[in-house]
Amino acid sequence: MFKSLKLIALLSLSISAATQASSLTLSSNDIAQGEFMSKTQEFDGFGCNGDDLSPHLKWSNAPKGTKSFAITAYDPDAPTGSGWWHWQIVNIPANVSELATGAGSTTKNLAPKGSFQVANDYGSKGFGGACPPAGHGVHRYRFTVYALSVEKLDLPKGASGALAGFMINTNTIESSTIESLYKRK
């Protein structure tokens, strides 16, 4: 009996370790969990004067069945009643696992071939950096990669952030987030 219980415990630990080892993981050379972003990721406009560059993002351990990826950057602390979409890029091919700093440019074509950048809440298609209202305190910025079960999200060219978010969430197998901070000086 003791040997059987010991074997079951070892198998449970092995399965648990294997499950943890295969979890989708997001990392970055530019941003970190719970740390403040630099002016590199600050918007250039609306009274802000940053470099407006999307951060480097790299992900690994995509789950079985992943056919594409999506990335979002969202500020839940924006005083809008619905947060603020800073970036939504969808239809990233399944063989892509990294985006360079600036890949979300609204003026240069640096996003992966086949991907589609949804208009952010500034009104441009691509990344729009942090720019919380002056005196509003610290805001959280959630950069999330989603492993999707479909090759392509069928979104109209003028899709809203809410529609893109719905389609992303409907087709997500697994996701991973880095939550960075920013405070306007």
Contacts of 126 (CB under 8 A, 6+ apart): 54, 87, 89, 104, 105, 106, 107, 111, 117, 120
Indicate whether 5 belongs to any domain.
Answer: no
- Separation between Cα atoms, residue 143 and residue 128, nearest integer Å: 13
Query: What tokens does 95 get?
Result: 């063989």
Report which of 185, 184, 181 is spatially closest to residue 37, judged by C-alpha positions.
Answer: 181
User: Is residue 124 situated within a structural domain?
Assistant: yes
Residue 120 forms part of a structural domain: yes
CB 42 within 8 A of CB 49: yes
Q: Which run of H or E residues covers position 170?
A: helix 161-170
Residues of the chain with pLDDT under 70: 1-22
pLDDT in tens, 52-72: 999 999 999 999 999 999 999
CATH number at 55 reads: 3.90.280.10
Domain-located, residue 30: yes
Element (H, E) at 40: none
Which residues constitute the domain of residue 87? 24-182
Residue with tokens 């405070």: 183
CA–CA separation, 124 and 183 (whole Å): 22
- Rounded distance between C-alpha atoms, residue 34 and residue 40, angstroms: 17
In a domain, 104, yes or no: yes
Report pLDDT for 185: 79
- Residue 15 domain-assigned? no
Count of domains forming the chain: 1
Residue 157 has a pLDDT of 87
Whether residue 2 lies inside any domain: the answer is no
Domain membership of residue 133 (yes or no) is yes
